[in-house]
Amino acid sequence: MAEFQRTYIMLKPDAVRNGHIGEIINRFERAGLKFERIELANVTPEQAAANYKEHEGKPFYAGLISYITSGPVVKCVVAGPDAVANARRLMGPTNPLNAGPGTIRGDFGLVMDENVIHGSDSPASAEREIGIFFG
């Protein structure tokens, strides 16, 4: 049985910079997921550190923080049946190199360092991330 869930989706700075907001949002709506909140904003250094706590100390951490704070993002709460897994299915694997055509990362990205979109990995992460980004 599908479970009704909320997930936190974030169109990363490269998606906004490259003018792909509309096309990406359209894919979630086309699949039947509903946007409950949506806001263009900059990620603060505090929000970036809280969101990427698990990666602190890794070689790519500094680059990740500077990338996610490099320009406006689109912060979204998306809801529907199995929203967490369905959003990640639409997004494709973390590395665009492994993301097939038809997925958001496969169609709009080329490299792991700029991988277009974020989606929560569990309902618990979603709740935590919605708290970080919407207060």
Ligand X SMILES: Nc1nc2c(ncn2[C@@H]2O[C@H](COP(=O)(O)OP(=O)(O)OP(=O)(O)O)[C@@H](O)[C@H]2O)c(=O)[nH]1
Residue 55 annotated in active site: no
Q: Which residue is nearest to Mg ion (CB)?
A: 121
Does residue number 75 form part of the binding site for ligand X (CB under 6 A)?
no
Measured from the CB of residue 69, what is the shortest distance to Mg ion in angstroms?
17
Which of these is catalytic: 118, 119, 120, 126? 118
Touching ligand X, residues 37-56 (CB under 6 A): 55
Q: Where are the beta strands (DSSP E) in 23-116?
A: 34-41, 73-81
Residue 17 carries which side chain, given as an amino acid letter?
A: R
Between 39 and 121, name the residue whose CB sits nearer to Mg ion. 121
Short-list 6, 12, 5, 78, CA closest to 42? 12
Neighbours of 16 (CB within 10 A): 16
Active-site residue numbers? 118
